[in-house]
Amino acid sequence: MSPKKKTQASLMPALVGGIVGALVLAGIILYVVVTMQVKQLSESPFILRASGILHIPVATVNGSPILYAEYVDDKNTLERFYEQAPEGFPPVSGDDTSDMALSRLVATRLVMDVSEQFDVVVSDEDIAEKRAELISNFPSEADAIAEIEKAYGWTLETYSEKVIVPIIREEKLKEAFEASEQAGENAAMQQEVKARHILFRVEEDTEEEIARQLAQDVLDRLNAGEDFAALAAEFGSDGTKDIGGDLGWFGRGVMVPEFEEAAFALGPGELVKEPVKTLFGYHLIRVDDTRTVRDFVAFMDGQLEGADIQVLLPVNNPFELLEAPAENIDLGAMEEEGEVMQ
């Protein structure tokens, strides 16, 4: 080998080492810069992309990370949603949307962890079925996609990942919990109702009396013996109208308070005496059946209270209440916050 080739060969390891060292140094600098910006809660597109790549968390649940980029995306989506919410929705602040986003992500992560204990799996068939159910509420799939984009700024795939899959997982976990011996003989119990409804939406104040009178007219027809499912298909204004107004089984803390109070006051086969007003409009409610089951909500509340939740960035911490001594915890306040999370 010539002296020149020997010199070139001897320089190669140093050159490669220098390039690797420069890349490592650049990576360290990038991590430091991004971390500093995240600590200042930067929402610039570059910082969000980089923080996602670097897996920088806003919080952890039992050691599992909740990514900052995912938190910002959910928070901004909630802000977008409330900006477009119809009149009558309660006003929300920046801390409100932050709390809701973080609470939802923590709850989703917790459900994922508990689902593993009960061997719950969400299949492609489950997702396809739920997506088809969603799309059936619109004239076409294109209309569904357009509405999701308008309301959330998400594609159908993103909506499936962030909303549909967690809903399916929680539904399947609830079923597994209620059927499993892991629940234990001492598990808390709760009452559930299987109900139907017909919703008469109120879009503007001037239409409220029209909606209420129409609801009363339909109620009179139900009391006269007409078929609930047929009238739901004719007059209903939400997705349940195509399935006879069927809401399935639900327990307390799922529906808005006015609806819940009316539904749980009814026995099997009973119909409300008058239309029930909520922020969505007027409802006619019929309870088809009642049952007592293991209290899934109480079980998950216990999982939440026992979870190690660490909020790592200077955002409002909606879980500080869980860190208080037991005698100082306001359970009523926790229940109200739980309603908002849903």
Is residue 322 situated within a structural domain? Answer: no
> Has residue 217 been placed in a domain?
yes
User: Given this model, what pLDDT does residue 325 score?
Assistant: 42
275 vs 238, which has greater pLDDT? 275
Q: How far apart are CA 104 and CA 21, in angstroms?
A: 41
Q: What is the pLDDT of residue 10?
A: 54
- How far is Cα 73 from Cα 48, in angstroms, rounded to an integer? 9
User: What is residue 331's predicted lDDT score, i.e. its pLDDT?
Assistant: 33
Phi (first) and psi of residue 128, to 5 degrees: -60, -40
Check pLDDT > 50 for residue 319. yes
As a whole-number percent, the residues of the chain with pLDDT over 70 amount to 81
| 283 within domain boundaries | yes
CA neighbor of 255 nearest in space, from 243, 244, 266: 266
Residue 242 is assigned to a structural domain of this protein:
yes
Q: What is the predicted pLDDT for the residue at 333?
A: 37
| Tokens standing for residue 179 | 């059927």
For position 3, what pLDDT does the model report?
Answer: 53
Tokens of 49: 């992309």
Give the residue, 143 or 333, on which the prediction is more confident: 143
In a domain, 141, yes or no: no
Residue 85 lies in a domain: no
Q: Which residue has the higher pLDDT, 88 or 151?
A: 151
| Band of pLDDT at residue 203, cut at 50, 70 and 90 | confident
Give per-residue pLDDT as tens, 24-45. 555 576 677 778 888 888 999 9
| Structure tokens that stand for 52 in this block | 């996602």
Cβ of 195: how many Cβ atoms within 10 Å? 24
pLDDT at position 22 is: 52
Using a pLDDT cut of 90, give the percent of the chain over it.
Answer: 52
Is pLDDT at 228 greater than 60 in this prediction?
yes
CATH for 232: 3.10.50.40
Position 3 in a domain? no
- The answer to whether residue 15 scores a pLDDT higher than 70 is no
Instruction: Tell me how far apart the alpha carbons of residues 313 and 69 are, in angstroms, rounded to a whole number.
Output: 12
Domain-located, residue 47 = yes
Domains: count for the chain: 2
Give the model confidence (pLDDT) of 284-307 as tens digits.
Answer: 999 999 998 888 888 898 899 999
As a whole number, the mean pLDDT across the chain is 83
pLDDT of residue 12: 54
239 in Cβ contact with 132 (< 8 Å): no
81 vs 151: CA distance, rounded Å: 6
> For residue 38, what pLDDT is reported?
85
Predicted pLDDT at 83: 84
C-alpha separations of 200 from 36, 134, 236, 278, 324 in Å: 51, 20, 6, 10, 43
Model-wide pTM > 0.75: no
Query: What is the mean pLDDT of the segment spanning 216-224?
Result: 96
Provide the residue range defining the domain that includes 49: 21-54
| pLDDT at 324 > cutoff 70 | no
